Amino acid sequence: MMKQSRPVLSVNATAANQRFSRLLAESEQGQDIVITRRGRPVARLQSIHAEAEPAPPLGTPVAGGVPDFEKRMDIIEACRKMNAIGLNQGTSGNASVRVEGGMLITPSGMDYDTMVPADIVKIGISGRLLHGHRRPSSEWHFHCRVMEARPRAGAILHTHSINATALACLGRGIPSFHYMVAVAGGRDIRCAPYATFGTEELAGAVLEALDGRLACLMANHGMLVLGRDIEDAFKRAVEVETLAAQYLKALAVGEPNLLSDAEMDVVLEKFRTYSGWAEPAR
Ligand SMILES: [Zn+2]
């Protein structure tokens, strides 16, 4: 005889978020909510206020659900995936996604595993805080500058991935040693000169290195990629890190042969017309 399956309550993400937000709003700030069944705890909702930094008059408070909930979830998912596959370590990377009226960006110094949609911060293209109870990533300068200068970019991902960062510490970009370099939208991937993290100077250097490109390395720091959306950016980040690893490995033995500009132009054209990498954000 078939075993009767357990009943299921199906709630879509937006509705679940609204319910949780309502519950959390009813709790006093900082309280977690323990859900009990027959007097025994079965689940615990961690208050979004519990770990908030102690100075939150930083924008509109979160109430009655979080706008752009799915996009916030996509950002958290991409960041967790970055760490899971070793593309980033700890809290060093950051991500942003363009939305109506500005952009969503990861908060400063927060563990991706405990991040919830309300922790993602909304800022204007000028860097003004629009919504959220946390501080935006300290790298908001380059996120804003790049979003402003590259209107077709829907997302930006920044990581300190091992191989791209190792190359960047040598002050080397990635030349046309492999045809896949074209995923960054040009014949090579440049390395932006060093500038202190979180400064306008770094934002300017990054912007220049990204001219006509969808990715760049950042000297003594890491790498950055653009995408149509966060998924596209994630895929491109994986490719750039792979290219950096391959290039470093080849460099360990000798000076790799480079493809000619003419050949790279053929590849770029093929990418534009046939591949999944077509029509990138310029
Ligand atoms: Zn960084």
* Catalytic residue of the set 139, 201, 269, 279: 139
Contacts of 166 (CB under 8 A, 6+ apart): 244, 248
User: Which structural domain range is residue 207 located in?
Assistant: 69-273
Q: Is 111 part of any domain? A: yes
Tell me the pLDDT of the chain (282 aa) as tens digits. 455 576 676 766 656 656 666 665 555 555 566 667 777 666 666 555 444 444 333 444 444 568 899 999 999 999 999 999 999 988 889 999 999 999 999 999 899 989 999 999 999 999 999 989 899 999 999 999 999 999 999 999 999 999 999 999 999 999 999 999 999 999 999 999 999 999 999 999 999 999 999 999 999 999 999 999 999 999 999 999 999 999 999 999 999 999 999 999 999 999 888 766 545 444
CA–centroid distance, residue 188 to ligand 1 (Å)? 21
In this prediction, residue 41 carries a pLDDT of 67
CA–centroid distance, residue 221 to ligand 1 (Å)? 6
Q: Is 35 part of any domain? A: no
φ, ψ for residue 275 (rounded to 5)?
-90, 170
Q: Is 48 part of any domain? A: no
CA–centroid distance, residue 27 to ligand 1 (Å)? 36
CA–centroid distance, residue 242 to ligand 1 (Å)? 19
Is 263 a residue of the active site?
no
Q: Which residues of 240-253 are buried (b: 16+ CB within 10 A; e: fewer)?
A: bbbbbbbbbeeeee
Q: Is 49 part of any domain? A: no
What amino acid occupies position 185? G
CA–centroid distance, residue 165 to ligand 1 (Å)? 10
Neighbours of 105 (CB within 10 A): 26
Q: What's the CA dihedral at 17, 81, 216, 279 to 10 degrees? A: -70
Q: Is 97 part of any domain? A: yes
In this prediction, residue 89 carries a pLDDT of 86
In this prediction, residue 66 carries a pLDDT of 80
CATH assignment of the domain containing 269? 3.40.225.10
Contacts of 68 (CB under 8 A, 6+ apart): 99, 104, 122
Q: Is 225 part of any domain? A: yes
Q: Is 22 part of any domain? A: no
In this prediction, residue 273 carries a pLDDT of 81
Task: Give the Å distances, CA to CA, from 136 to 13, 82, 128.
Answer: 24, 19, 10
In this prediction, residue 61 carries a pLDDT of 44
CA–centroid distance, residue 159 to ligand 1 (Å)? 6
CA–centroid distance, residue 41 to ligand 1 (Å)? 40
**Count of the separate structural domains present in the chain:** 1
**DSSP character at residue 3:** P
In this prediction, residue 46 carries a pLDDT of 57
Q: Is 2 part of any domain? A: no
